[in-house]
Amino acid sequence: MSLLGDVCLVTGACGFLGRRLVKLLLEEEKTAEIRLLDKQIQLQLLQSLEGCRGDTKLTAFEGDIRDADFVRKACRGASMVFHIASIIDVTDAVEPSELYGVNVKGTQLLLEACIQENVGSFIYTSTIEVMGPNPRGEPIVNGDEDTVYHSSLKFDYSKTKREAEDRTLQAHGEPLQNGDRLATCALRPMYIYGEGCRFLLGHMSDGIRNNDILYRMSLPEALVNPVYVGNVAVGHLQAARSLKDPRKRDAVGGKFYFISDDTPHVSYSDFNHVVMAPLGFGIQKNLMVPLRLFYIFCFFMETFCLMLRPFVRLVPPLNRQLLTMLNTSFSFSYQKAKRDLGYEPRFSWEEARRSTVEWLASKLPTERERIALS
């Protein structure tokens, strides 16, 4: 089932995943229109898409996702929404009210606008972090959608993403103004890497400052399975095709799916090394301090910042929950997405790694110069 003639709205269209999805839609689907919604639409992005635009109309919507009138205007006449936009925060640096406003309220406003404006399909980009790991660091190895796990989410980011996901799935089957019904689903990608990943760029910058030695923040045995951004975009396209297909719509609607690929299972720190070793980076053999002492250090840092909270907001660079996430085996299979959505990773690990290394290599001289001048 193709998206021929559809009008697709992509929120967070200028972001890491959003721009990759927009490009994929332009290259593979003869949609009537793609609407790019973001806080600010870069002219450079629009120009870069001209070469693959074909007959598809590109429309920019600049504004705040928390603005109900703006969101409804963006949805008017659309047939499908890819809701990617959110605030990502794993250090609790963002005020909870800001996270809730964008991640939960923004999602709710979009769902309401879809109902009011007769948008038939809604795909929500969730995250593996709505699952965990929990504060006890209980591992999951090659889990699936039926895996039972006591999440006990601590990050405000994780909580808001989980609530937004729940609202999305609960909205499946809601009647539209024209008598049809809304179809929704949610995708839970693993840690996403690839060209444009700001986290990889940040780790590379830290390594440059440390004489080209990457910091080890994860135990080697804490295995996770990152996923390449191109494959996540393919997962979104397959979900859209499935929701549009009358034979699959009710079967996949109201459900969530893990999106991973064949990237080797490795710790977060060792993954950084895998993609940066070709650029001459090494990695610390051991954690900077034993893990137990790391937790104690984080506890005192969190307590100190909490004591100062009435006077000034300080955010520790590392907290216990982030340390738990970095040191817990947490991996999931994509087999249900394969069965239900027809999802198959399009990019092999070798292709994904090569593209990521080439992108990092293109950024390396600029990062070295910036750090030398700072």
What's at 111, amino acid-wise?
L
Residue 189 is given by DSSP the state: E
- Of the candidates 42, 40, 107, 104, the one whose C-alpha atom is nearest the C-alpha of residue 75 is 107
Distance of CA 336 to the CA centre of its chain: 19
Looking up tokens 């909490």, which residue turns up?
306
Q: Residues 100, 124, 157, 228: which is the catalytic one?
A: 157
Q: Give me the phi and psi of 347, to 5 degrees please.
A: -105, 125
Angstrom distance (rounded) from CA 98 to CA 107: 13
Q: What angle do CA 77, 73, 167 make, to 5 degrees?
A: 90
3-state secondary structure (DSSP) of residue 162: helix
Nearest to 120 by CA among 70, 30, 65, 184: 184
Active site residue 215: no
Q: How far is CA 88 from CA 99, 108, 296, in A?
A: 8, 18, 26
* Contacts of residue 31, Cβ cutoff 8 Å, sequence gap at least 6: 3, 4, 5, 6, 7, 8, 25, 56
Active-site annotation, residues:
157
